[in-house]
Structure 1
Amino acid sequence: MQFENTKQFAQDLDEQDVLRKYRDQFHFPKVNGKQVIYFTGNSLGLQPKNTKRFVDEVMQDWSELAVEGHFYAKKPWWDYHERLAEPLSRIVGAKPEEITVMNTLTVNLHLLMVSFYRPTDKRYKIICEEKAFPSDQYMLKSQVKFHGYDPKDAIVEIKKRDGEHNFRKEDIIKTIQEVGEECALILIGGVNYYTGQVFDMKTITKAGHDIGAFVGWDLAHAAGNIKLELHDWDVDFAAWCSYKYMNSGPGNTSGCFVHERFHNRQDIPRFEGWWGTNKETRFLMKPEFEPMPNADAWQLSNAPVLALAPYLASLELFDEVGMDALIQKRNLIVSYLEFVLKEIDKQVDSTFEVITPSDPSERGTQLSVFLHGEGRKLFDYLMKNGVITDWREPNVIRLAPAPFYCSFEDMYNFGQILKQGILQKTSELSN
């Protein structure tokens, strides 16, 4: 498609957009009385308008039934989390029995590492990407220290080449092969939070298994964003948050994937709790733990139903649309945003460097833009003028036009605001 940086062209794209009606199903903040251009769905998704209905239903059942709501609510609370498994399985490419929802992301990664990081004298190292999301770095360091190892020795970081912004697949595979039999676990973010690079999870998972390591993925920036086939890729485990592309609300509950080959195995260590035991005998209060025959065996406590309700509301929209349609629009709107950025770059005395891969198969919804010579003042200008984006040091803004609610006209209007911000700064400097 031959793009044009005009409002009419953007509006024409919106007219052709089969998902355009979903924009009206989300609440938008306002700045100076005007609806914002929202680019931070990779940090916190907008609130779906159907969320209130789901939460109100739980509140009404609580007020009318109290404790009896566990069994007699419209959606009984004792198995509320099970309703999320099937729609989530379609989003991440899994079987419903491989999915559970519990806790929050880093908590779940810690719990899953109880099962999948079992270091020995010979096999104790963890491979991750350099400058992983800080929470992952803290988690990995604390895990290896808990097991008595020095993080400087036990954690192996895959490096980028000098002067490059993204990881090369051949370098990842080479590192895995070099660590070899010393590697106990590979745990990487499926989409790099800083650059938006999508990793080849299928190839990396196979490379890890070839050396006898477990392979897990932090899918915080991947779930609801890119095509995932966790079961077919033979991934051992994965976890993701729900408040970014899946719009479930701030700090909300996390999804987990555990491959079916680990179900019903007595030799898998894990921390155990009441909600992981067989639901048919759970209320007999037996002292022996009888694990659920699926990923729910990793559950500890009864589900936080008020937190799950917004997640279920969002999944209703995902089920209506499907990942294929979201990805189709995602590819087009991100490409159009990239085009707009390049057009504005030609019109002003500035240089933008998009550090996200240009290949659509290697990126999702996010474009990370290095603002050479612009700095924080430009970011502040954007925010004051109704463009909600985020800043990452040293000089990067991340733009994530979520396909559910961002429009092509948003992309055009953003370009005009960006242009004015740069020209205003240039004018101030000349004066």
Structure 2
Amino acid sequence: MQFKNTREFALELDKSDDLSRFRESFHIPKQKNGEESIYFCGNSLGLQPKQTKEYINQELDDWATLGVEGHFEAMNPWMPYHENLAETTAEIVGAKTHEVVVMNTLTTNLHLLMVSFYQPKGQRRKILIEADAFPSDRFAVASQIQFHGGDPETDLITWKPREDEHTPRISDLEEILNKHGDEIALIMIGAVNYYTGQFFNLKKITELGHKQGCLVGFDCAHGAGNAPLNLHDSGSDFAVWCTYKYLNSGPGSLGGCFVHERHAQNLDLPRFTGWWGHNKETRFGMRDDFDPIYGAEGWQLSNPPILSMAAIKSSLDIFKEAGFENLRAKSIHLTSYLEYLLHEMEGDRIEIITPTETKDRGCQLSLAVKDADKSLFETITEKGVIADWREPDVIRIAPVPLYNSFLDCYKFVEILKESM
């Protein structure tokens, strides 16, 4: 499509957008003057669906009227509540239903799965991550290395961009693996890098890792609900994610995890266990030895927090209605339009460091600001743009297809031009 740099054209795009109606399903934060903000921060915290309060209130009402009987008698019985989230979650992350489960929070799940999938032995002790991984990932893998008696200074390998480039190349990863593959026990990469917005080729990374005998996992915090992860087809051993970003479940809400089905009945894998991962048929026998549920559910520890899951269900129901493939198509259209508008700007103070190829990114465009001056970010914030700043010099802009519009993109770039 040939884009035009006019407000009228943005309005035409919105008018022809079949998904534009979903914007009305979300609470859009307001500015002090009462106008809607331009909310481009779904990569940090997704907006609240208007129906979420209703979903949570239903569980509060059932708790009030039924007490403990709500586990079986609630409108949405609490005992199997997490099972109701599996089908849509699996569709979004590209997995089989028994390969996913919603539980705990992101880094907790990462640690639990590294118990199973990071098993250093002999010279194969190292973990490979991308150089600018999210801090929690770096802290988690470093602490796992230390827990197993290693030293992060020698046992943590980083996959770096080349000099004067912003994103690492897959060919350089292959070179690292050819050189150090027999020393690497685990590859753990952020599926979509939080800083640059680069979406990695999960299938290729997994193939390269498995070829060298490494296990492979992904942190999909910035990928789940954003990019087509296709976790089952990728062949990766495991993945983890949060639900409060693109999955709109609320601050600090539960995370999710994926365990490939080839590991579903591997009883030789070590794991930390709890009663909710035990065989459902005998769970309340109380005195049986641990008998893990088939698939990802077998990694559960505790019974699920229903109020948080109700918020997740609210958002997943919207995803199911919209269709993830439809959302991905709109996301590509939105970011392509935003990229066009940014390239139309005069001057060289802004550089897009997110890959240009749409297959290599989600809905986030990261804008590097020359001279690392945060004043520009502060100015656009005062003018009604909700985005975020990441040190040392990046403004992250994430037009989310469920609730952002083409007009949002146009208005943002106009504000950016005025502010510069």
Band of TM-score, shorter chain: over 0.9
1:248 maps to a residue whose letter is S
State the alpha-carbon separation in 2 of the partners of residues 269 and 135 from structure 1.
23
1:141 offset after TM fit, Å?
0.6
Question: Partner residue of 1:300?
Answer: 301
The Cα offsets for residues 341-377 of structure 1, whole Å up to 9 and x where unpaired, read as 1222x2xx45210000111111110000011147211
Query: In terms of mean alpha carbon deviation, does 126-135 or 371-380 score higher?
Result: 371-380
Is 1:368 aligned with 2:369? no
Question: Partner residue of 2:182?
Answer: 181
State the alpha-carbon separation in 1 of the partners of residues 334 and 234 from structure 2.
28
State the alpha-carbon separation in 1 of the partners of residues 252 and 310 from structure 2.
14
- Secondary structure (helix, strand or coil) at the match of 2:205 reads helix
- Secondary structure (helix, strand or coil) at the match of 1:160 reads coil
The Cα offsets for residues 180-212 of structure 1, whole Å up to 9 and x where unpaired, read as 111110000001100000111101101111111
Is 1:386 aligned with 2:381? no
State the alpha-carbon separation in 2 of the partners of residues 370 and 228 from structure 1.
26
Q: Please, what is the CA RMSD of the aligned residues?
A: 1.0
Is 1:195 aligned with 2:196? yes
1:417 offset after TM fit, Å?
1.1
Question: Partner residue of 2:147?
Answer: 146
Question: Partner residue of 1:426?
Answer: none
1:71 offset after TM fit, Å?
1.3
Matches of residues 135-284 of structure 1 in structure 2 within 5 Å? 135-284=136-285
Question: Partner residue of 1:67?
Answer: 68
1:380 maps to a residue whose letter is E
State the alpha-carbon separation in 2 of the partners of residues 280 and 111 from structure 1.
24
Question: Partner residue of 2:52?
Answer: 51
1:265 offset after TM fit, Å?
2.1
Is 1:353 aligned with 2:351? yes
The Cα offsets for residues 11-43 of structure 1, whole Å up to 9 and x where unpaired, read as 000001010000000001111211000100000
The Cα offsets for residues 290-337 of structure 1, whole Å up to 9 and x where unpaired, read as 111121110000001111111011000111111110111101110111
State the alpha-carbon separation in 2 of the partners of residues 116 and 360 from structure 1.
31
Structure 1, unmatched stretches of 5+, are 423-431
Question: Partner residue of 2:108?
Answer: 107
State the alpha-carbon separation in 2 of the partners of residues 372 and 340 from structure 1.
19
State the alpha-carbon separation in 2 of the partners of residues 331 and 101 from structure 1.
27
1:287 offset after TM fit, Å?
3.6
2:369 maps to a residue whose letter is L
Report runs of 4+ in structure 1 exceeding 6 Å deviation.
none
2:372–2:392 CA contact under 8 A, matched in 1 = no
The Cα offsets for residues 31-71 of structure 1, whole Å up to 9 and x where unpaired, read as 12110001000000000111112101110110001111111
- Secondary structure (helix, strand or coil) at the match of 1:30 reads coil
Matches of residues 60-139 of structure 1 in structure 2 within 5 Å? 60-139=61-140
Question: Partner residue of 1:8?
Answer: 8
Structure 2, unmatched stretches of 5+, are none
State the alpha-carbon separation in 2 of the partners of residues 208 and 416 from structure 1.
45
The Cα offsets for residues 110-143 of structure 1, whole Å up to 9 and x where unpaired, read as 0000000011122111111102100001001100
- Secondary structure (helix, strand or coil) at the match of 1:145 reads helix
Question: Partner residue of 2:24?
Answer: 24
1:73 offset after TM fit, Å?
0.9
Query: In terms of mean alpha carbon deviation, does 391-400 or 374-383 score higher?
Result: 374-383
2:172 maps to a residue whose letter is D
Compute the TM-score of the two structures, normalised by the length of structure 2.
0.98
Compute the TM-score of the two structures, normalised by the length of structure 1.
0.96
- Secondary structure (helix, strand or coil) at the match of 1:48 reads coil
2:82–2:102 CA contact under 8 A, matched in 1 = yes
State the alpha-carbon separation in 2 of the partners of residues 2 and 241 from structure 1.
36
State the alpha-carbon separation in 2 of the partners of residues 142 and 293 from structure 1.
29
State the alpha-carbon separation in 2 of the partners of residues 373 and 170 from structure 1.
31
- Secondary structure (helix, strand or coil) at the match of 1:77 reads coil
The number of aligned residues is: 419
State the alpha-carbon separation in 2 of the partners of residues 291 and 298 from structure 1.
8
State the alpha-carbon separation in 2 of the partners of residues 264 and 415 from structure 1.
52
The Cα offsets for residues 74-94 of structure 1, whole Å up to 9 and x where unpaired, read as 111111111111111101111
State the alpha-carbon separation in 2 of the partners of residues 43 and 291 from structure 1.
34
2:250–2:311 CA contact under 8 A, matched in 1 = yes
2:403 maps to a residue whose letter is Y
State the alpha-carbon separation in 2 of the partners of residues 385 and 351 from structure 1.
19
Percent of pairs with identical residues: 52
Matches of residues 389-428 of structure 1 in structure 2 within 5 Å? 389-422=387-420
- Secondary structure (helix, strand or coil) at the match of 1:27 reads coil
Question: Partner residue of 2:321?
Answer: 320
1:372–1:395 CA contact under 8 A, matched in 2 = yes
1:410 maps to a residue whose letter is D
1:261 offset after TM fit, Å?
1.0
